[in-house]
Structure 1
């Protein structure tokens, strides 16, 4: 193992420390990025991005580097600390938003909520409020989210495919008999008319030529994305990146083998989902279940 240096004077920010350690180990070995890429079987550009802090890569890459440098567990631990650092979420998300605006096509799978670019203002406000946003910050976030809908409009709008789990549609529904009781106890009233607007908006967007909607019925059973929201972005230069998100964190994934694994899982989910025509009928049935007035 290469000699270790004291932590004092080194970056204490997890992502920077991870990048510094990678750069130090490679230079101590006297390897070029090209030589490292050849030795491990990944493109040299990936390691350049790792060392510059542009990406974290995947745990598989960190493990392979640990084996290559003879540092068992060190780089994987640093990777885990960097990936878990909450201060990195906004940075990753900002980069994702930049790539989203450049994408020539997009594929999405949603576990529990509609994707931002399909949300109505009322739906977005409730989802963001549940996440802790309030006041002027909530207003700004809602405006920003609604602005993303422009990506799907116009003659040059990119193709967009979304697969929504049945839970996404069911989460907007309430038993009509329970509406009055629920509304009496909610600080922020959940207006069933807003849920109706959201589902109606979904049917309108799904009718556009560049948008394809699939519904994943609960009856389809378990699958590889059962707990993961994911968006794939195909970029102008031909490569694809993925952004995954759960209730606690989001991660921009650019390393090709990790993206390919997610794409295979996505393809399997698409095979289980309803056809676009069947999905539109499914949504229309959901609309019939939404009460027009909470007093009914």
Structure 2
């Protein structure tokens, strides 16, 4: 499902859509300048701020929206004297405008994903978007037919990366994945990108609130042959499902339909490899690359 992109109906990157992208690029450049002046590399700064080096890199390149809490920590660590905290109101305004500019069908889903207390995903074709590395996402969009322009590709990549901030939320949501084994074997982007993506799965799998399971190809029976889907439990609301087939998105709220999808997902989790065995399988596949 994550390999399918809506050319006409899928939203632009939030920052691009409301004209605030230049602001985030400027914040990123200032962050990089002060970080380097302090003598910290991205990993060292990330450890002090409580974030991974990939996020620091993305913010410095302007492809991830810096959250207010991040800006407060950066201001304190880098002794920026308000340089980053002073722009928090503008950042919050830009984020609010971005949410209102999504098409209605996506706005509902994006809002629920960002605030969901539970997120469950089944992928049978490509690594699900929240798990994708930047290089993997770019490879997916680059090979999409009909071809996308370079500008659109960058917008799509930035949008996908910005959604991954759900992992940094406090309190953290409960997240689970069931991936078909073929997803681990398909070398999208080539050997280097493929290996980086497998390492990303291993990294995310170490998070206390995340469980990743693989559905072995050798299984003779399968409870779901109807395609990929997401299940979300929005804060204060009932569970919903989301599917995206050949460019046609569908947000499912009917309780009986959602129940059927959730039932299939439960059976898949029961027959898939447990998280520890999944990790061992990914490590084995990584060794062969």
The Cα shift of 1:191 comes to: 3.5
> Within 5 A, what are the aligned runs for 1:179-190?
190=189
Match of 1:128 in 2: 141
Q: Which moved more, 1:246-255 or 1:263-272?
A: 246-255
Residue 154 of structure 1 deviates from its aligned partner by 4.5
Task: Show structure 1 runs of 4+ deviating over 4 A.
Answer: none
Instruction: Give 1:130 shift.
Output: 2.5
The Cα shift of 1:220 comes to 1.7
2:127 maps to which residue? Answer: 114
The normalised TM-score by structure 2 is: 0.61
Contact 1:227/1:246 (8 A) holds in 2: no
> Quick one: distance in 1 between partners of 2:252 and 2:105?
10
Equivalent in the alignment of 2:24: none
Query: What is the alpha-carbon root mean square deviation over aligned residues?
Result: 1.8
Number of aligned residue pairs: 186
2:44 is aligned to none
Look up the SS of the partner of 2:162 in the other structure. Answer: helix
Normalising by structure 1, we get a TM-score of 0.59
Give per-residue Cα distances to partners, 1:180-226, cap 9 Å, x unaligned.
Answer: xxxxxxxxxx4411111110011001001011010000112342323
Aligned pair 1:275/2:274, yes or no?
yes
Q: Return the alpha-carbon distance in structure 2 between the equivalents of residues 90 and 111 of structure 1.
A: 27
Residue 92 of structure 1: aligned partner:
105
Displacement of 1:147 after TM fit?
A: 1.3
Partner residue, 1:254: 253
For 1:50, the equivalent position in structure 2 comes to none
Could you tell me which runs of 5 or more consecutive residues in structure 2 were left unpaired when the two chains were aligned. 1-101
Distance (whole Å) between structure 2 residues aligned to residue 286 and residue 134 of structure 1: 33
Unaligned runs of 5+ in 1: 1-88, 174-189, 291-296
**Structure-2 separation of matches of 1:247 and 1:195:** 24
Higher radius of gyration, 1 or 2: 1
Alignment of 1:150-189 (within 5 A): 150-172=165-187
